């Protein structure tokens, strides 16, 4: 018989992060959000709690947990604020995880302890202005300069989270390093430390949401790094990042679940306090049914991401489950944010209310880490239809 309950250790993690989110994040995050300011004090406290090291071994400064533990932390943070949650998700899933999975022992020893402590943030340099969902359309190049023993990188990346903070330590960059025997692009991954000459961090984007997170465009103009900064085998960069994205979709699904549940929490509270025509609005069936549907979406989302995470941590295939979870939870978050705003009425349009922040934050969940269209494509392929069937 399946048992979906958390063990004592994970339950303690969940309650600890929820308390932190409610007591430390919630009272101040609105101010950071409106100022478009990165919440360094909150991130510092998250580092002290060990959240940035959750899925990494203790030998590298981690907590010895797994992706299920990371997802639980992300969900609890996102119930209060998604900017803080995405900072953690990108730092762990996209920044540190490639170093852990594909790095040499020397690279792991050099970077992981600071990444796990939160003293340093890593970023994931994949998306390009003309690429979007087509990561294989990479135009950034890296050529070997054997005379100096360096990679020379030229190109640009866009929408890169955690790439321009005061504590950003590195960006892992995908770049074309040659041509494969079949004529296709040979894409490799290279570690570029922050502050490397030739790498320019553009000013922060003016975003619709996630306003307390850090996002920039990066450009590379004859940016030189040592040849030993190659991450993993040359020519394996595209495959490496496809694997990282599969895992990252579980993390985004957990974050989306948190936002969906936060919408329920705020709406239930408001529906009990707000009165119209002499009684709480929650007494009206129209509102009560909205809340029931919202809870259904949040509950189902939780089952979806935890199922995908469980398969992953047990070494089972999870690509299909990750795509299902990411697709369902992101759309559930958008639906719940819309309904929460409606329940709050005019107050839902005011930034001082959390649901206004949720509404601004939810849409990107249907875009980042693979759009909803990409997820449907992956799911269809897993069923043996769509492009796979057409190619037969």
Domain boundaries, given as residue ranges, for the chain: 8-121, 123-234, 239-390
Q: Exactly one of 128, 217, 247, 369 is catalytic; which is it? A: 369
Of the listed ranges 113-117, 128-132, 165-169, 318-322, the least confidently predicted one is 128-132
Residue 18 confidence class, pLDDT cut points 50, 70, 90:
very high
Cβ pair 174, 102 in contact under 8 A? no
CA 14 to each of CA 20, 96, 97, 129: distance values in angstroms, whole numbers, following the listed order: 10, 22, 22, 38
Concatenate the DSSP letters of all residues of 90-102 into one string. Answer: IIIIIIIHHHHHH
Q: Are 267 and 339 in contact (CB under 8 A)?
A: yes
Task: Look at residue 3 in the predicted model and tell me its pLDDT.
Answer: 66
pLDDT, tens digit, for every residue of 304-361? 999 999 999 999 999 999 999 999 999 999 999 999 999 999 999 999 999 999 999 9
**What are 84-125's pLDDT values in tens digits?**
999 999 999 999 999 999 999 999 999 999 999 999 999 999
| CATH class of the domain at 8-121 | mainly alpha
pLDDT for res 392 = 33
CA distances to 50, 102, 320, 369 from 241, in Å: 25, 10, 17, 11
* Chosen CATH of 123-234 out of 2.30.40.10, 2.40.110.10, 2.40.10.120, 3.40.50.1100: 2.40.110.10
Q: Does domain 239-390 correspond to CATH entry 3.10.129.10?
A: no
pTM over 0.85: yes
H helix intervals, the chain: 8-20, 26-35, 40-49, 67-78, 82-89, 97-102, 105-117, 237-273, 285-313, 319-344, 354-362, 372-382, 387-390
Identify whether 369 is a catalytic site residue.
yes
Residue 142 pLDDT > 70, yes or no?
Answer: yes
């Amino acid at each position: 018989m399946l048992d979906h309950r958390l063990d004592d250790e994970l339950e303690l993690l969940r309650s600890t992060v929820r308390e932190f989110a409610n007591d430390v994040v919630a009272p101040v995050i609105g101010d950071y959000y409106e100022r478009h300011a990165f919440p360094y004090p909150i991130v510092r406290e998250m580092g002290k709690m060990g959240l940035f090291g959750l899925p990494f071994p203790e030998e590298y400064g981690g907590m010895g947990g797994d992706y299920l533990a990371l997802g639980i932390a992300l969900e609890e943070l996102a119930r209060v604020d998604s900017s803080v949650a995405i900072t953690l998700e990108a730092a762990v899933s996209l920044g540190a995880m490639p170093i852990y999975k594909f790095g040499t022992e020397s690279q792991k020893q050099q970077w992981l302890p600071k990444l796990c402590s939160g003293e340093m943030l890593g970023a994931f340099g994949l998306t390009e202005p003309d690429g979007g969902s087509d990561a294989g359309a990479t135009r950034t190049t890296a050529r070997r300069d054997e005379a100096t023993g360096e990679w020379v990188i030229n190109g640009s990346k866009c929408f890169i989270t955690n790439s321009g903070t005061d504590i950003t330590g590195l960006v892992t960059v995908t770049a074309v390093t040659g041509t494969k025997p079949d004529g296709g692009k040979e894409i490799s991954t290279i570690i570029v430390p922050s502050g490397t000459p030739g790498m320019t961090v553009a000013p922060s984007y003016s975003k619709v949401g996630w306003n307390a997170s850090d996002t920039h465009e990066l450009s590379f103009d004859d940016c030189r790094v040592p040849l030993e900064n190659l991450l993993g085998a040359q020519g394996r960069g595209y495959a490496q990042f496809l694997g990282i994205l599969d895992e990252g979709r579980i993390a985004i699904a957990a974050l989306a679940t948190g936002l969906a549940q936060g919408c329920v929490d705020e709406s239930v509270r408001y529906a009990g306090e707000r009165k119209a025509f002499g009684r709480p609005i929650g007494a009206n069936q129209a509102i009560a049914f909205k809340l029931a549907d919202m809870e259904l979406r949040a509950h189902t989302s939780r089952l979806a991401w935890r199922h995908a995470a469980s398969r992953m941590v047990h070494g089972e295939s999870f690509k299909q489950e990750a795509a299902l979870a990411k697709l369902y939870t992101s759309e559930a978050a958008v639906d719940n944010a819309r309904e929460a705003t409606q329940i709050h009425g005019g107050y839902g349009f005011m930034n001082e209310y959390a649901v206004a922040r949720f509404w601004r934050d939810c849409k990107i969940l249907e875009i980042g880490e693979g759009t909803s269209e990409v997820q449907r494509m992956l799911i269809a392929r897993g069923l043996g239809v769509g492009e796979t069937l057409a190619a037969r």
